[in-house]
Amino acid sequence: MERVSDSSEVLVVEAAAIGRPGQCPDCRKRARRVHSTYQRDLNERPLGSRQVVVRLRVRRYFCDRKNCSRKTFVEQVPGLSERHRRSSTGLTGWLRSIAVELGGRPAARLCRRLRLAAGRSQLLRLLTVPAAPDRAPRVLGVDEFAFHKACTYGTVLVDVEGGRVVDVLPDRTSETFTAWLKEHPGAEIICRDRATAYTKAVREAAPDALEVADRWHLLQNLAAAVEKTCHQHRNCLRKQAEEATVTKVPEPPPMLLQPAELPRTQIIERTRHRYEDIHRLLEKRWTISAVARRLNIDRKTVRRFRDTDLDELLASARERRPDGVLEPFKAYVNARFTEAQGQVSGTQLFLEIQARGYRGSRQVVRKHLAALRAGTAEPARADIPSPRKITSWIMRPRETLTESQDERLLQVRLACTDITRACDLARTFADLVRHRRGYLLLKWIRQAEQDAPKPMKSFAGFLRQDLDAVTAGLTLPWNSGVVEGHVNRVKTLKRAMYGRASFELLRTRILTQQ
């Protein structure tokens, strides 16, 4: 160090390299002759609120080896300078860490606040993709993630034992995954969900690998089958609830309203029009994929509208109406309206039901009162639990249910034998999953195929088609939990920068930020 120049904003350190002669970066021969000297400026990490600049005088050497293509080279100071860098080694490490965590523009904004001289392009150039291993890990996890939901997807590959991302693929097709498995052999166990594309790739490129179906996805598919069963048998629940209501002596006199047609809300009209559009195209022999592209919806939505009755779809849409919070109090409001012969204000009714536990807005009460006066109000329905709520009671362990939840589930089981059968099968399967009793899976499938409701039979059929992987998932300790964690991290990175950046930059940040 020769001199330090201090100012209010910049601290300049003048220094000279005095170490041993350097080695040629090509032939690694140590130099003997000095060609010349020159001065280079290096940005260093800030000191308090002041920037630090190192003006370093370095030597240029001759390379005396005749067969070396390099004639001269410049010495580097270990721990301070690198080739083609205008920042010190320490500052470069800071900038690289900031770029890994934040990307381009956010990292540049943070650098300005920290008084670090770095632009977004310079920060992104510091990101280098780690070299992918030649062989796949012994336990490989694979799952998809969405670039644009319901449009384009990618694939993330994870070392389940090491808990790190191995590679990221630009799509979720079986051809891309097959090519990767052929280039990176060595996977003995592959954890996956029930995507058919990954199954096809594994059977083609790694036939000796053991496939393991993820247990969480199995429980998710089971819950969907149970919820569909509850949807199909809502009339049984409503009938049982109405019969129980008739046996009780109501406090206020009942209100007799002529049946009104389904209210024309926006979601109900959209459901009805979508149902008509999908079935019109299917009658013209359009494929599910073509219909999804034509209407800009997901293929699962097309399949659901194809296989579900319109009444069931409308019932599901009606449950998502914003005035659902008023449903438990409609009987009281209707009775008060009948008693007062329509001469009652919405504010008064709002205060009365608010004292009884209503937590909605006053506008919902006024809207229902206006419908009563116009004669278009929907009759008060029996208070029955929604299919999703029933499914949550069934899928949860019994000891976690409260007494009221257990009692309401018992009433549901008494109202419908199909829901009872679905509940018994679901709890048995959940017990197989939680305790990993894969040896009982085939017996469960046979029972479900004999006398279960149709959605449960379909679920059992899907399990039979993927029997080996499901059995392994219910037997071995491996699962896709680590993969799902990395998928959540990928979603965070993607939402922060993918709309303004390329797949290569996204892949680089995923592989470097671990």
pLDDT tens string 389-417: 999 999 999 999 999 899 999 999 999 99
pLDDT of amino acid 183: 93
Mean pLDDT of 353-357: 85
Amino acid at 328: P
Q: How many CB atoms lie under 10 A from the CB of residue 159?
A: 18
Burial environment of residue 280 by CB neighbours within 10 A (0 to 12, 13 to 18, 19 or more): exposed
Instruction: Give φ, ψ of 165 to 5 degrees.
Output: -80, 130
Q: How many CB atoms lie under 10 A from the CB of residue 161?
A: 14
Q: Is the pLDDT of residue 243 over 80?
A: no
Percent of the chain at pLDDT > 90 equals 46
Band of pLDDT at residue 370, cut at 50, 70 and 90: confident
3-state secondary structure of 373: helix
Amino acid at 445: I
Q: Is the pLDDT of residue 246 over 60?
A: no
For residue 477 the two structure tokens come to 């300790």
pLDDT of amino acid 376: 67
3-state secondary structure of 467: helix
Cβ proximity of 373 and 342 under 8 Å: yes
508 against 444, higher pLDDT: 444
- In angstroms, the CA 310 to CA 62 distance is 84
Nearest to 106 by CA among 487, 495, 486: 495
Q: Is the pLDDT of residue 213 over 90?
A: yes
Domain map (residue ranges) of the chain: 3-125, 139-212+479-512, 216-222+386-473, 249-374
What does DSSP say about strands 189-192 and 210-213: parallel, antiparallel, or unpaired? Answer: parallel
- In angstroms, the CA 444 to CA 326 distance is 42
Listing from the earlier edge strand, what are the strands of the sheet with 210-213? 164-169, 152-159, 139-148, 189-192, 210-213
Average pLDDT, the chain: 86
Amino acid at 95: L
Phi-psi group of 436: left, alpha or beta (phi > 0 → left; psi -120 to 50 → alpha; rest → beta)? left
Q: How many CB atoms lie under 10 A from the CB of residue 117?
A: 15
- From start to end of 25-93, where are the E strands? 34-47, 50-62, 72-74
For residue 300 the two structure tokens come to 């699962």
Q: Is the pLDDT of residue 475 over 70?
A: yes
The CATH T-level fold of domain 139-212+479-512 is: Nucleotidyltransferase; domain 5 (3.30.420)
Cβ proximity of 111 and 118 under 8 Å: yes
Nearest to 363 by CA among 332, 326, 330: 326
Nearest to 480 by CA among 192, 211, 198: 192
Strand pairing partners for 154?
Answer: 145
| CB hemisphere CA count around 76 (13 angstroms) | 16
Amino acid at 419: I
| pLDDT tens figures, 81-120 | 888 888 999 999 999 999 988 888 888 999 988 888 888 8
- In angstroms, the CA 141 to CA 196 distance is 15
DSSP state of 154: E
Tokens 């499901």 — which residue?
Answer: 470
Percent of the chain at pLDDT > 70 equals 92
What does DSSP say about strands 152-159 and 139-148: parallel, antiparallel, or unpaired? Answer: antiparallel
DSSP state of 398: G
- CA 153 to chain CA centroid, Å, is 12
For residue 289 the two structure tokens come to 């994929």
| pLDDT tens figures, 488-505 | 999 888 888 766 678 888
Q: Is the pLDDT of residue 9 over 90?
A: no
Q: Give the H or E element holding residue 219.
A: helix 215-232
Mean pLDDT of 153-173: 93
Cβ proximity of 16 and 57 under 8 Å: yes
Mark 48-82 as b/e (b = at least 16 C-beta within 10 Å).
eeebbbbbbebbebbbeeeeeeeeebbbbbeeebe
What does DSSP say about strands 164-169 and 152-159: parallel, antiparallel, or unpaired? Answer: antiparallel
255 against 300, higher pLDDT: 300
| CB hemisphere CA count around 298 (13 angstroms) | 9
Cβ proximity of 221 and 462 under 8 Å: yes
Nearest to 209 by CA among 109, 274, 138, 123: 138
pLDDT of amino acid 251: 46
Q: Which residues fall within 8 angstroms of residue 395, CB to CB, at 6 or more apart?
A: 219, 222, 223, 226, 426, 430
| pLDDT tens figures, 24-46 | 888 888 888 999 999 999 999 98
The predicted model scores a pTM of: 0.67
Q: How many CB atoms lie under 10 A from the CB of residue 29?
A: 13
> Hey, what's the torsion of the CAs at 275, 278, 279, 280, to 10 degrees?
120
